[in-house]
Amino acid sequence: MQPQSANATLTSHSRCPTAMAFSEQMSGKLTDIVGGDVASNHTGVGFALPRLQALTATFEPSSHRFHVVCDPALRLTAESLTRVSAIVSEAVSNAVRHAFPDGRDGDIWLGLVQDRGRFKLTVRDNGVGMTDLPAGQTGGRGRIENLAHQLGGYARLGSTAYRGGEVSVVFPDGIDNA
């Protein structure tokens, strides 16, 4: 049976926080979002969807529309949630800053799915695309790749065939989400 996906669309209107500041703020707190409520999570596991929705809300207001797709029952360890949050913050911040020049509006999609013992995190936009840089570059790309490695996975960043940029991170499943 296929789990039901939650599809939340958020519209925003202004400046975005810096990814680094937000990442530091998120990793400084090990209060995880559990079941839609912010609470201390003594089990070390938290639901992913409320965290992803909270992350996109930090970019409000802005002229961009955010679309979040994630199984509401999907859980990650506190450590993985913190790293995923930092990746999402970096990728969304870069999309908001670079994908839509001259004040254009646009859409940013964020998805986290679990399949065959792996998670796949995707952040994509319908902006101008991104320069294909070699792996290991510093800056946002380097931070995303480093965080993906810390999760035991890998990251792919680049432009898409349909126009826009995409960040994909694949990492192993360390939790029983059955």
Element (H, E) at 108: strand 106-115
Structure confidence at residue 159 (pLDDT):
86
Note the pLDDT of residue 59: 85
Give the model's pLDDT for residue 152: 96
Report the pLDDT value the prediction gives residue 175, as an integer from 0 to 100: 62
Query: What is the predicted pLDDT for the residue at 63?
Result: 84
> So what's the pLDDT on residue 177?
52
**Whole-number pLDDT of residue 86:** 96
Write down the domain spans for the chain.
6-172
Closest Cα partner for 169 from 148, 149, 150, 152? 148
pLDDT along the chain (178 residues), means of 10: 39 37 40 34 79 90 90 94 96 91 90 94 93 69 94 92 90 70
Query: So what's the pLDDT on residue 147?
Result: 96
What is the structure's pLDDT at 120?
97
Q: Smallest Cα–Cα separation from 124: which of 152, 150, 163?
A: 163
Question: What pLDDT is attached to residue 2?
Answer: 38
Q: Is 67 left (phi over 0), alpha (psi -120 to 50) or beta?
A: beta
Task: Specify the CATH superfamily of domain 6-172.
Answer: Histidine kinase-like ATPase, C-terminal domain (3.30.565.10)
| Contact assessment for residue 159 and residue 130, using Cβ atoms and an 8 Å cutoff | yes
State the pLDDT at residue 134: 63
Q: For residue 22, what pLDDT is reported?
A: 42
Q: What is the pTM of this model?
A: 0.75
pLDDT computed for residue 53 by the predictor: 94
